[in-house]
Structure 1
């Protein structure tokens, strides 16, 4: 992958909190993310400039690591510019996970400027065009596609992490503010906040511990990235459909049979199950706890929000 890539600008240091004043660290987050994005652009000049924003990625039903929005902002006299969102929950996972998400969104950005349709089904299903671009940026595609998110779950290999080692280290050592989410912390290894020894703000506040290195699943909207959706507290349908990783094939046995509406591969096995039976089998390893004897993958809800 070549020599390590550096960030564009130093990240401002953590400010000391004084009585009646907040930390004021929003700019630190943006500068850090912009520096990491600049490191990607240094190696891939076709990656466009973006307007970097952050905030909570939680909607109650899901957590979004990030998304790319084409020409969402207007710069007076210059026209539209793209949006790049990085969720505060993502920052709790550490520099490597953050860089992975930025590379994921950079793939969407390149698809936009090249006029390539890299997603379908409401921008949720990531197709092989996305995979091709993601690979060119140093990501590794999953072994098999997810029935809903397709090839979204790309990972960052050690070689690519080494290439961006300085940018990743800058994100980690900056100890950026993050959004603590118990769901993310439990399932993906996010930070556990360090208690503030001076909650009244009369002295030096202490920043949370060093971010973890866990990674989340993929998905979300706008071709974005995020872990599997959380489910709302209110009950959904009594019964719902579950599927595994098996794909239905044509008579030739090698060509996936495509759904006429979505154009995506049809699940090879689809089972109706009651909510009670589903939840009674849930284990620490998987919700539902049902494994397909053929593909050796756990069944999952066909509709994540069911």
Structure 2
């Protein structure tokens, strides 16, 4: 979790700005809002449970990426952006419940400045993931990494609490401070106990209602 309550909105704004920079060169990318993901199971855009016509998709960024620094955050965002480009184009980029990344993911990643090492076989379970940045892309993204670094400066990411045991099948309904529209979703108690989930719209933590 983020130790300082003011860190969340600042980090979220910086990551959303980074996404907007990617949209300038890749207008196919949809509008998003960022959530800090403590579970770590998601690596693509998420459709909210109650999707309105003008609502943005959720861009989850794992707390470990934030703790690792601006380069890791950028790589996480680029990974999600690769999935997003495939999805808006109707291209199937993964198999095995999203775990294995195929050649379509690899080839699309090239458009975002990443390239799979020549001659290197795919990972046994992840496939072509993660795809590393090229030296040219590292140079091009340097100003963006620097901007993210300023936003992450001084941020302390605490250790997530041990997951609590809950009854099988139990679901919690969490809600933030948004009112138009009200934003809620359901989640298992074990995942909810890992740490706070922050809304990218109002900046408040989702809590049980």
**Shared topology, TM-score over 0.5?**
yes
Which residue of 1 is the match for residue 157 of structure 2?
Answer: 179
Provide closer, same or farther for how the CA distance between residues 180 and 139 of structure 1 changes in structure 2, counting only shifts above 3 A: farther
* Uncovered stretches (5+) of structure 1, i.e. residues with no partner: 1-21, 58-62, 183-306
Distance in 1, Cα, partners of 2:96 & 2:20: 31
1:194 corresponds to: none
1:36, 1:113 → 2: CA distance?
19
Deviation at 1:70, TM superposition (A): 4.1
Aligned-residue offset at 1:138: 0.6
Between structures 1 and 2, the one with greater helix share: 2
Match of 1:150 among 113, 127, 130: 127
Partner residue, 2:103: 128
Q: Partner residue of 1:85?
A: 60
Q: For residues 116 and 176 of structure 1, what CA distance do their matches in structure 2 show?
A: 40
Determine the structure 1 residue equivalent to 2:115: 140
Q: How far, CA to CA, are the matches of 1:70 and 1:55 in structure 2?
A: 12
**Corresponding position of 1:278:** none
By relative contact order (CA 8 Å, sep 6+), the higher-ranking structure is 2
Cα 1:74–1:177, aligned 2, differ >3 Å: closer, same or farther?
farther
Does structure 1 residue 48 correspond to structure 2 residue 30?
Answer: yes
Runs of 4+ in 1 over 4 A off after TM superposition: none
Larger radius of gyration: 1
Correspondent of 2:43 among 57, 67, 74:
67
The answer to whether 1:100 aligns with 2:75 is: yes
Q: What's the RMSD between the two structures over aligned residues?
A: 2.3
Work out the CA distance in 2 between the residues paired with 1:52 and 1:152: 22
Q: CA deviation at 1:81?
A: 3.5
Structure 1 residue 173: deviation in Å? 2.0
Offset of residue 177 of structure 1 = 2.7
Output the TM-score relative to the length of structure 1. 0.46
* Cα drift, residue 80 of structure 1: 5.5
CA change 1:176–1:104 in 2 (3 A) is: farther
Is 1:167–2:144 an aligned residue pair? yes
